[in-house]
Structures are given as structure tokens and as C-alpha cells.
Chain A
Amino acid sequence: MDTIVTPLWLSLKVATIATIIAFVMGILLSWWFAFNNNKLTSFLSIVVTVPLIIPPTVLGYYLLLLLGRSSTLGQMVESITGQPIVFTWKAAVIAASIAALPLLIRPIQASFETINKETIQAAELDGAGKVQLLRHIIIPLAYKGILAGLVLGFARAMGEFGATLMVAGNIPGRTQTLSIAIYDAVQADRMMDAHVMVIILSLVTILFLYLIHRWFK
């Protein structure tokens, strides 16, 4: 039982945190892209889809190089926190956020772009600050796109496998998410375990997506 509950728990933790991170970044980047339309932002809004293009294992390999213990960034984090970031659940969160980000940005940006610029200008004239603008005008008007992004991003984060396996590894009890546990079971010919985990992963993800829908309605 523990061989399923622990990975499930880890998957939920990683996917939820990753979705939140990607959500915050997604909102900010979409805002920038949608309301400051110039050559740079339209170029960048295409560049952010790169994680969808490169194979997940390759993405994971680059993350391993970028965050690894021999990299500048990896050493910096290690000297601050006292422990490396690779091969921990935090590395899995980073992998999942990057994988989910493009799927969040696309629908959110599209829904931001449908908001009438005059509505925003009117609110600004009435003295609304950036936070108020986001909270009372932009998000309520764009909630359908935001919802779509959250659903796609969370689903992607739950199913993330290739990059996570690379940068976080397959360490039972520490970094073995449900998706990795399924791969492990298939490799080891434990097909029954794999079937059970596939069903659990699907059902739990569906339940979470349903809850996200409920929350935002």
C-alpha cells in the first residue's frame, strides 16, 4: 500500500506547488505579453512554448546541467540552503512547473487579449492600482481562460515523467512520483501494480480537476 500512497502523495504535492508557481508566473507573463504588445513580447510569447517542443528527457538533462552540483546556480543554492537541489522533490517541482508553464500561459494570454483596453483604462482613471486591476478587472473577466490553463497545467504536472526522472531521479520515498512509479512497475514486469496505479493517477487527477472547476465557478 505504501508503494502507492507515498508516490501519490508526492505527485499531488509536486503537481500542486508546480501549478501554483506556473500560475503566478503565467499570470504575470500573460499580463506583460497581452498588454504590452511589441516585437519583443510577441517573440517571447512564442519562446515560452519551447518546453513543449524539446523532449522531456532532454529538458530534464539540461535542467540537470543547469542546477547540478557542478553548475554555478547549483553551487549557489547549495551554499545558501546547505543541500543540493537536484535529486530532491524540489527539483521535481521545478521540472513540473517548466513543463506546465506554456500550457498555462497560452489560454490565459488569449483570454487577457480579449479584454477591452478601454475597460482597463477606465479603471486606471478611477485610480485602480495594478493589484486591484488584476484582482477586480482582469482575473474576473478572463476566468475562463485561467481555468482552462489551470486544468491543462495541473494535468501536465501530474503526468510529468521524463524531465522529473532526469533531474529528481527515481528514489523510492523521496522523489518517486506516481508517474515514475508506474514506469518502474512496467519495467519490472509488475503489470498489476502498474494498472492499479494508472487507475488511481487518472481518478485522483480527474477529482482534482473537478475541484478546480468547482472552486472557480
Chain B
Amino acid sequence: MIMKHLLLLFFTIILLIGCGNEQSDEQTIYVASASDLYHALTEIGDEFSENSDINIEFTYGSTGLLTQQIQEGAPFDLFLAAHESYIDRLIEREAVFEDSKEYYAIGRIVTMSSSEENVPLDKDYLLSPEVQHITIANPEHAPYGKAAKETLESWGIWEEIQPKLVLGENIRQSYQYVESGNADVGIIALALMNRTEFHYELIEEEAHEPILQALGIPVQTGKKDLAKSFMQFVLSERGQEILLEYGFDIP
């Protein structure tokens, strides 16, 4: 009796495998991208696909994880990292073509508040007892977190705010901590502010090392030409215009 059931199960599997064949995707490129680019790059990709016969599938994730995966041969055709150091590391390990590295944007950060009040979000406010939790992305592996840490250091309050600090896994998670009211203030990417109603203030450029964002083409791609044409669109006037709209600076 049980054998009959197993047989049935077995045929179900065969059916599942048979139907789930992978789509033919000669005109599709797979693009790995840092998650701070979500809104901007999706728009750039849509516009690109409309004007060409190339289809793009995006994988958004933390730059650290994607770097790790590309190093292990993940089948991506283009990689947009949140910081150039990751592209450099991949070039060093011969996982990305050396001549494909290009700067495509400079990231800016803001202090973002979860309260309605229009108080200045400066260092005195961060130190005040009203603010119980301050969130930044993990400076160990998130470029925006590193810039946030540098900012707090240059303001001279890094040590003092330690008890209030909550680390997000990536910049998007920090954004969600503030948005949900669980953190009073966050240091967040300007690029994530474009659809927000929350109060935020741009942090001066001098407060941290510039977040130079770079891209590169992984060596195992079979579609270097297609990847290049999308890369050129990102770097074109139109592509840069969209990035500018979403709060990036242009290199």
C-alpha cells in the first residue's frame, strides 16, 4: 500500500520537474545590485528594457553577500556594489574583469527621524534623552554603515551614543527600524528617502569618506556585450539623471 503511495509521489515529482523547465533566456541578463539602488535601478532597468530587446532580472542584496557569491561563481552578468572596495576585492581575486570597473554614483546619507516634530537632527539632538535608539547599518560590512560611523566619529559623539546604537543588517533594515518607530533616529541613505514623509536632514559631505559606488562585470558571464550595453546606459546621461533624481551624486 505504501509503495503505491510512494509511486504516486514519485510521479508527482517527475511532473514537477518536467513542467518547471527553465525559460530560454538568451536576451536576459542577470544583474546583482546593492539594495540601496532598489528604486533607482528598477526604473533605469525598465527604461532600458523598453528601448532594447534585452530583458533584465535584478537580484538586490547586501553588497557583502553578493560579493561572496560572485567570488564563488554566481551567474551574474553585472554587479553594482555599494562601494568600490568590493569591486576591487573581486578584481584582485580575478572574479571581475579589471577593465570593467566604473564609478556610477556617489552615495549620500541623511539623519532621519521617526517623530513628527521638526527639530534639527544635529548632534545635540542625538545626545538628548528624547532619543533612546539610534540605528545605523552595520559598519563592519555595510558601506553606508561605515559612513554613518565616520560621521558620528567626526561629530565626536561615537563613544557617547554607544548605548543607544542599534545596528541594522543593511541600510534598508535601519530604514525600517526608523519607519516603524522602533528607533528614534537613523543614519540612512538619501536614496531611500525619495518616497518618505519622514523628517530628514542631509549630512554634510565632509563628515565622512565619500561613498564611491562602483560596478563591474563578473568574469564568468557569457553575455559580456549585453552587460556592457546596460552598463553604458547606467553611465549615460539619462541613467545618471535618474540616479540624481533618487538622491545620488554623480562622480
Contacts and interface: CB of A to CB of B under 8 A. Distances in A.
Interface of A: 9-10, 12-13, 16-17, 20, 61, 64-65, 68-70, 84, 86-87, 135, 139-140, 143, 165-166, 169-174, 184, 187-189, 215-216
A174 B2 contact: no
A16 B68 CA distance: 29
A87 B2 contact: no
B72 A68 contact: yes
Interface footprint category on B = 20 to 34
A135 B2 CA distance: 8
Contacts of B2: 135, 139-140, 143, 216
A30 to B, nearest CB: 15
A216 B17 CA distance: 23
Contacts of B35: 187-188
Contacts of A9: 16, 19-20
Interface of B: 1-3, 5, 8-10, 12-13, 16-17, 19-20, 22-23, 25, 30, 35, 38, 57-61, 65, 68-69, 72-75, 172-173, 176
Contacts of A135: 2-3
B16 A13 contact: yes
Contacts of B25: 173
Given A10-B20, A64-B68, A87-B74, 17 more contacts: A13-B20, A64-B72, A65-B72, A69-B72, A70-B73, A87-B69, A87-B72, A87-B73, A87-B75, A140-B1, A166-B65, A169-B59, A169-B74, A173-B22, A173-B23, A187-B173, A215-B9
A166 B66 CA distance: 9
